[in-house]
Structure 1
């Protein structure tokens, strides 16, 4: 009697693996008829929960198993049954959780590669591989008939399952879950039916990705719109606290939190439900001592701060973002406890019992009795969209504060007009001064050639020439200052690493007697006018070298970080520093600090730097260090 078979060919390195399995007569036409109807029913569902539940029904209609479950993995690897289709005599498993050890990491990785897995009879004995000798290490990852681990076989037997079939559900290349199918008597699924069921799984995977991305996008857009509004408030309001807390759109509009606290300029502003002052003090003290990063979040605070349990109102979910660690400015968000009861199919930490059967000794567990666990001390987790939203909030606050700290504001038309007139006047006067200064310098040089001059007259002539030269340099710098205001920046991608390397090489030659140590960390490219921006880095780095030369070991360090579409540079030195009283006028024209002593300078260089940075819609400010000064510079990153 003749019989039809399916031949399945898969590649394994340099080999082809041929697998032969029975074909069921008429099965292909029946499956094709059923699959068309099933896919039509699946695709009409707009609601993701309905689609998931309907997929379980349609897969069961194709393979006719006793139970078909949609099994979703959580972040820690344990799984939950979120939908099922079953025969009436079986108890429902919806809502039951299974420990991560039931499907270990190695098995989950295989599910990502081979999307279907059939065990038609857990009592079958594996067959050997027919072929060339030396195939002991043949990779059977994609084999349809590959035997499975004895541990998994015993696990299924412990559950009373005789046949098992699984279909992987993939979300963004990661294993989201499984369509797990159980039959309580041996059952073979013909290849055509398995392939059709796999197609259903792929359609569900695509729908999961599309619907989840759509939902994430809506949340992201909502948070972003509210952040844009907050950014406008911060730039227009005089008070940062009022900008972030006083209106309907506030800090709680950019996350799904119950409460928020803003600490700014030693003043606390609160929104929603927040802990008491004593609890806040304890929490902030712990964060200050244990959190180094600018951002921290947890949905289980007690796991990292057990001492906090002594405070009755200590929140479970906390997200903190530092505005300025040095000044103690920060924002805190809170989520309340989300108590829940998790139903486990057997106790997750059940101890393995030793029995006479060696297979049972390595079985993960033998009990699947329902066991309820009360989850407490946790909040809902912080989503990727919330984390991104708060990270952007920090950038927007920093940007607004930097604009205000450096005096960069939007001027009204009268001030703009007055500034342009003053700029034109200074340019004209400076240009007109060049000829008389040059004449004075030449006349002084002519006097020095007169051999009849007394020593006193010669000293006076030298002083006149020196002063004329100094005045000429100042006029040149004032002209440069005016020219910068007139130039329209032509933006291009600037290789900051190469630019800084060239400037540092020149500085080492100029200040070789002092052997300055110049360190350049990671430097990101920027989007700026190369002609203008070289003046910014050259001036700031030259100042760092000039005002550090009296130190026994002059040291300069420059590095950058990338946040959203902005590059922040920090240029530190160990020089004489800037007195706190001088900080507000660092970038003023002709302003020199009170502690510069005999170090030469005109007081124009940093004013030019400030103007160039303003023309690039960036920001720059100086801060005192324990030893030396740090200049912070924010410029645009290249467009993507």
Structure 2
């Protein structure tokens, strides 16, 4: 019975533990005592006179076969040298085996050292190391990014001599596109072709982040098995090995294209995989380790150029949108009518993003700008938003896929970005992007999963044919950029500030507010009484049991976890109670000198988190009007987050400074830590909201919600600028009384 192949399972193929290596070299894995624990079965092909299996032997016994001119402890000395200076700095070492010279690449992981032996000469015939510097100069002769990519493939092809060299860029959904290409004259062009995500699945892309170059020397060569003791059932993780064997699916894929050898160089943007320099040869081609390391430099230089060009474009957009939001902020504070400030001047909502239309739904009125759906269509869209979108911020470039009725007005609204002003009152700001018809040309039908051959076998390939196959994409707009998201997040903050300043008490229903406060009082009492009492009992009993000297270590560990869990829950209850009380607490306004407050918090954090001297810099600290106790809580939360989430940065840097603008005092707290994913920015100040990337860093998700309530009680503003992996800057603006 033939099985149907579903290529979605490519994402689950364990390509990091293939149990085999490419056979142009051989592998020996030793433990901390320099005893051989794994080795490739082709060892005796290179080291003549060895038995087929040498597991359990000291590596020093192989030294005469590896290099007769070196002492038995030669390899152990190399490992000591690598551990001292870093294997990345010391690799490769030269090893003389018979009449041939090999590169020895040593890597360390877990409790093992991997010794990989490869030929020291490439098949290219070119001195890649010497040519790389000249090629990089040629790559960067133009300021235009596309021309830089075009120059890159030409130069890389000259250097390594492969038949086809491409720059392959990954899209957000994982599929790829050839955006630059150089090839032999007899080959057809693949420029502009798209390839489905399954061609380079997720786990393969993760390995490209670890190994910045990847060589498949000969797709037709049989891989060599990696041997270990019969009782060792632990798979050998080859993620970082140069010789790691190739997935059979990928090998068949390359064969179907007629490719005999491939070589790739990873390209990055902001530490994320942007794409690859993908090289194909139609005959076997080996590139030695030193040459591959030199080729990495090309990837690093091109990655830096990509980042610079993209940052330059982002900065231009940022400045444009910031200027528009600044102007709208002035208009809202100046005009009596918020809706007129946003829609009735030369600068409008449309200028805050790159949209083709916008709608403001405010105080039972709808204000339209640019190209928008008609009234009936808007009514249906607003009902869908209120019924289906629970987040306060939502955007998509494929609205008809989420809201089917949008297909009737996709020409004006295939993309939508929505920020909710008041869900209860049905108040929104909505931006639209028109449909952008696209013709995507795939390298073969991406939905084809395999081909049944005449003998009943199935050819493993996402498709057997790579002839261009075009697909027209409808119901899609241009994507919303990160800068547009940031702009809307900031604009919403300014709109809400203006609303609170001008309409706060009027927009509130006093009776409903009174009822809410009564319910909050009941809730606070329930937490403080019905939850804290049982917690105290749990903690007390756990502490009593921990005093028993006959407890087993495992039991004591469990009791400690119970005690710590009770402490964490008690802290969370206290924070929730603090959050509930802020709205009802009276402000005690005074002129507050925040400098000693900040210094006290910093000194305490330096002790708790072992912060290096000079890591936290305190700049100007102008005085502000406010409640000293509440303001201390604000700075404690923000500074604590900055220190905690930048703890792993090297060097760690936290900057705290204030500026008096005349009408307000603005404090900024900047760190170079984990940063915040753009998708989380709109909800950063919501209760119990924590980011995906915080790991085991302590926190309850309540602190920033408390900070926001305190700032709003002071009639101030708080917002954040952040990018994942690039740190965060929190801005707190206090009005001058």
User: TM-score normalised by the shorter chain: which range applies?
Assistant: 0.5 to 0.7
Whole-angstrom CA distance in 2 between matches of 1:21 and 1:15: 19
Structure 1 residues 613 and 385: alpha-carbon distance in aligned structure 2, compared to 1, 3 A threshold: closer
Please state how far the C-alpha of 1:310 moved relative to its aligned partner.
Answer: 4.1
Structure 1 residues 402 and 120: alpha-carbon distance in aligned structure 2, compared to 1, 3 A threshold: same
Whole-angstrom CA distance in 2 between matches of 1:363 and 1:406: 62
CA offsets per residue over residues 547-604 of structure 1, 9 Å max, x none? Answer: xxxxxxxxxxx9698999994439xxxxxxxxxxxxxxxxxxxxxxxxxxxxxxxxxx
Other-structure match for 1:149: 247
Conserved? CA contact 1:263–1:329, under 8 Å? yes
Other-structure match for 1:40: 137
Other-structure match for 1:569: 709
Whole-angstrom CA distance in 1 between matches of 2:356 and 2:288: 53
Structure 1 residues 382 and 357: alpha-carbon distance in aligned structure 2, compared to 1, 3 A threshold: farther
Of 61, 82, 89, 2:158 maps to 61
SS in 2 for 1:374: strand
Whole-angstrom CA distance in 2 between matches of 1:234 and 1:560: 31
1:404 aligns with 2:502: yes
1:331 aligns with 2:407: no
Whole-angstrom CA distance in 2 between matches of 1:158 and 1:26: 23
Please state how far the C-alpha of 1:386 moved relative to its aligned partner.
Answer: 0.9
Please state how far the C-alpha of 1:227 moved relative to its aligned partner.
Answer: 0.7
Q: TM-score, normalised by structure 1?
A: 0.65
Segment drifting more, 360-369 vs 31-40 = 360-369
1:164 aligns with 2:304: no
Conserved? CA contact 1:346–1:367, under 8 Å? yes
Other-structure match for 1:203: 301
Whole-angstrom CA distance in 2 between matches of 1:112 and 1:405: 52
Structure 1 residues 121 and 268: alpha-carbon distance in aligned structure 2, compared to 1, 3 A threshold: same
Please state how far the C-alpha of 1:406 moved relative to its aligned partner.
Answer: 4.6
Structure 1 residues 297 and 100: alpha-carbon distance in aligned structure 2, compared to 1, 3 A threshold: same
Please state how far the C-alpha of 1:56 moved relative to its aligned partner.
Answer: 1.1
Other-structure match for 1:490: 593
SS in 1 for 2:147: helix
Of 366, 370, 385, 2:464 maps to 366
Whole-angstrom CA distance in 2 between matches of 1:269 and 1:93: 48
Whole-angstrom CA distance in 2 between matches of 1:312 and 1:162: 46
CA offsets per residue over residues 246-279 of structure 1, 9 Å max, x none? Answer: 2221111110000111122222222111221121
Conserved? CA contact 1:392–1:564, under 8 Å? no
1:102 aligns with 2:199: yes
Alignment of 1:168-567 (within 5 A): 168-311=266-409, 315-355=413-453, 360-406=458-504, 487-491=590-594, 529-531=626-628, 533=630, 567=707
Conserved? CA contact 2:421–2:428, under 8 Å? yes
Whole-angstrom CA distance in 2 between matches of 1:143 and 1:613: 54
1:125 aligns with 2:222: yes
Of 159, 167, 174, 1:70 maps to 167
1:5 aligns with 2:145: no
Please state how far the C-alpha of 1:344 moved relative to its aligned partner.
Answer: 0.3
Whole-angstrom CA distance in 2 between matches of 1:319 and 1:493: 43
Of 716, 719, 723, 1:618 maps to 716
CA offsets per residue over residues 151-175 of structure 1, 9 Å max, x none? Answer: 1111100001111111111222221
Other-structure match for 1:88: 185
Whole-angstrom CA distance in 1 between matches of 2:181 and 2:175: 18
CA offsets per residue over residues 50-77 of structure 1, 9 Å max, x none? Answer: 2212111121111100000000011111
Whole-angstrom CA distance in 1 between matches of 2:410 and 2:444: 33
Conserved? CA contact 2:263–2:278, under 8 Å? yes
Conserved? CA contact 2:105–2:117, under 8 Å? yes
Structure 1 residues 534 and 64: alpha-carbon distance in aligned structure 2, compared to 1, 3 A threshold: closer
Structure 1 residues 137 and 230: alpha-carbon distance in aligned structure 2, compared to 1, 3 A threshold: same
Please state how far the C-alpha of 1:88 moved relative to its aligned partner.
Answer: 1.0
Please state how far the C-alpha of 1:216 moved relative to its aligned partner.
Answer: 1.4
Segment drifting more, 126-135 vs 58-67 = 126-135
Whole-angstrom CA distance in 2 between matches of 1:33 and 1:175: 27
Please state how far the C-alpha of 1:296 moved relative to its aligned partner.
Answer: 1.7
Segment drifting more, 338-347 vs 353-362 = 353-362
Other-structure match for 1:14: 111
Structure 1 residues 563 and 350: alpha-carbon distance in aligned structure 2, compared to 1, 3 A threshold: farther
Please state how far the C-alpha of 1:377 moved relative to its aligned partner.
Answer: 0.7
SS in 2 for 1:139: coil
Whole-angstrom CA distance in 2 between matches of 1:312 and 1:88: 43
SS in 1 for 2:167: strand
Paired residues, what number? Answer: 457
CA offsets per residue over residues 475-515 of structure 1, 9 Å max, x none? Answer: xxxxxx9x967x423347999xxxxxxxxxxxxxxxxxxxx
Please state how far the C-alpha of 1:282 moved relative to its aligned partner.
Answer: 1.6
Q: Which has the larger radius of gyration?
A: 1
Conserved? CA contact 1:567–1:637, under 8 Å? no
Please state how far the C-alpha of 1:235 moved relative to its aligned partner.
Answer: 0.2
Whole-angstrom CA distance in 1 between matches of 2:279 and 2:238: 22
Conserved? CA contact 1:42–1:54, under 8 Å? yes
Please state how far the C-alpha of 1:322 moved relative to its aligned partner.
Answer: 1.5
CA offsets per residue over residues 105-147 of structure 1, 9 Å max, x none? Answer: 1111111111111111111011244787759722222222221
Structure 1 residues 152 and 260: alpha-carbon distance in aligned structure 2, compared to 1, 3 A threshold: same
Whole-angstrom CA distance in 2 between matches of 1:336 and 1:311: 9
Conserved? CA contact 2:123–2:285, under 8 Å? no
Whole-angstrom CA distance in 2 between matches of 1:374 and 1:613: 49
SS in 1 for 2:265: strand
Other-structure match for 1:421: none
Conserved? CA contact 1:317–1:336, under 8 Å? yes
Structure 1 residues 69 and 528: alpha-carbon distance in aligned structure 2, compared to 1, 3 A threshold: farther
Can you give the 5+ residue segments of structure 2 that lack an aligned partner in the other structure?
Answer: 1-97, 507-585, 599-623, 635-685, 690-701, 718-730
Structure 1 residues 152 and 41: alpha-carbon distance in aligned structure 2, compared to 1, 3 A threshold: same
Structure 1 residues 120 and 216: alpha-carbon distance in aligned structure 2, compared to 1, 3 A threshold: same
Please state how far the C-alpha of 1:323 moved relative to its aligned partner.
Answer: 1.5
Please state how far the C-alpha of 1:374 moved relative to its aligned partner.
Answer: 0.3
SS in 2 for 1:348: coil
Superposed CA RMSD: 3.6
Can you give the 5+ residue segments of structure 1 that lack an aligned partner in the other structure?
Answer: 409-480, 496-526, 538-557, 571-611, 620-634
Conserved? CA contact 2:412–2:434, under 8 Å? no
Whole-angstrom CA distance in 2 between matches of 1:26 and 1:122: 15
